[in-house]
Amino acid sequence: MKRLYVLFDGECSMCGRCRTWLARQPAFLELHFLPFQSPEVARRFPGIADLHPEEQLLVVSDEGGVYRGSHAWIMCLYALRDYRELSLRLAHPALLPLARRFCELLSENRFRVSRWLDRLGANRLAENLAIRSVQ
Amino acid sequence: MTPIVWTYLSYLILSLSLTVWVARTLHKNGRIFLVDAFLGNEQLADSINHLLVVGFYLINIGYVSLALREGQMPIDLQGVLETLSRKVGIVLLVLGGMHFFNLLVFSKMRKRALLHRAPPPLPPQAHIPVAAE
């Protein structure tokens, strides 16, 4: 396994932020990000639609192994140099249900979280603009 | 020679020989750890091992020299032994601390190397064909 394809929701800004964060981390495996809406996804992974990439995060390895939801998140962490240890810990049977619950919650509420993050960003921008206009 | 000179001389001989003993032990037994940590690259492991031992010598001999001077002058054999045991005791504690620090560094390196080789923590949940680029 040398590369992981991360199929995320291109219309969700929280997913975009996560993608930016993931891409910045030093990694053991190459991470390749594809929004599931892009036509390249269907071309590169024939039959991916049956796995419902719109429902939760999907990670596909270069060998064709598919990971969904919490498993996909754990595989993303596994690819990162500084978070591999955490991923091994999270994959332990004692912690996996907790990780699954958390990922389901995050997946279901991703648009709500995105709106909240966007509002936060907009407020910060407004504050900065206000400070600048006073100066 | 006065008692303090005897104290100094015995202190130097004892601490330096202890330092050499600990350094040689570390050099001999740390090697296998390092070879594992550097994925079997023996040349690199030997080089790092040697550099670590040089650092170990520098810090310990430096400390031993700095801590040589004694304010209270012993006047008899009892005083000499007491001063000597206190000084050597401190050197031993410093050596012990350095030893554990070295072990910590070794095991950190080894752990990192093992992480690099760790297999995926989860099996895939499904398989799909991946088209070539």
pLDDT at A75: 93
Dihedral sign for Cα atoms in the order A102, A104, A105, A107: positive
Count how many domains chain A has.
1
Count how many domains chain B has.
1
Kindly report which listed range (A28-32, A58-62, B115-119) carries the lowest average pLDDT score.
Answer: B115-119
Residue range B10-17: mean pLDDT, rounded:
91
pLDDT at B130: 82
Is residue A43 predicted with pLDDT exceeding 70?
yes
| SS3 at position A46 | coil
B132 in a structural domain: no
CB of A22 within 8 Å of a chain B CB? The answer is: no
Q: Is B128's CB within 8 Å of A60's CB? A: yes
Q: How far is CA B71 from the centre of its chain?
A: 29
CB B34 within 8 A of CB B106: yes
pLDDT at A67: 93
Q: Which two tokens stand for residue A76?
A: 């993303």
CB B96 within 8 A of CB B26: no
Is residue A57 predicted with pLDDT exceeding 70?
yes
B47 in a structural domain: yes
pLDDT at B133: 67
Nearest chain A residue (CA) to B114: A85
B124 in a structural domain: no
B84 in a structural domain: yes
Range of the domain at A118: 3-134
Is residue A77 predicted with pLDDT exceeding 90?
yes
CA distance linking residue A49 with residue B27, whole number of Å: 58
Q: CA A65, A67, A71 angle in degrees (round to 5)?
A: 140
pLDDT at B58: 92
**For B122, which of A44, A67, A85 is closest by C-beta distance?**
A67
pTM of the model: 0.65
Residue range A13-30: mean pLDDT, rounded:
90
| Nearest CA-CA distance, residue B28 and chain A, Å | 30
Partners of residue A57 in chain B, C-beta under 8 Å: none
B106 in a structural domain: yes
**For B131, which of A44, A63, A74 is closest by C-beta distance?**
A44
CA distance linking residue A64 with residue A5, whole number of Å: 10
Range of the domain at B28: 3-117
Is residue B30 predicted with pLDDT exceeding 90?
no
Partners of residue B110 in chain A, C-beta under 8 Å: none
Q: How many CB pairs under 8 A join A and B?
A: 61
What is this model's ipTM?
A: 0.73
How confident is the model over A110-123, as pLDDT tens digits?
Answer: 888 888 888 888 88
Q: CA A97, A103, A105 angle in degrees (round to 5)?
A: 105
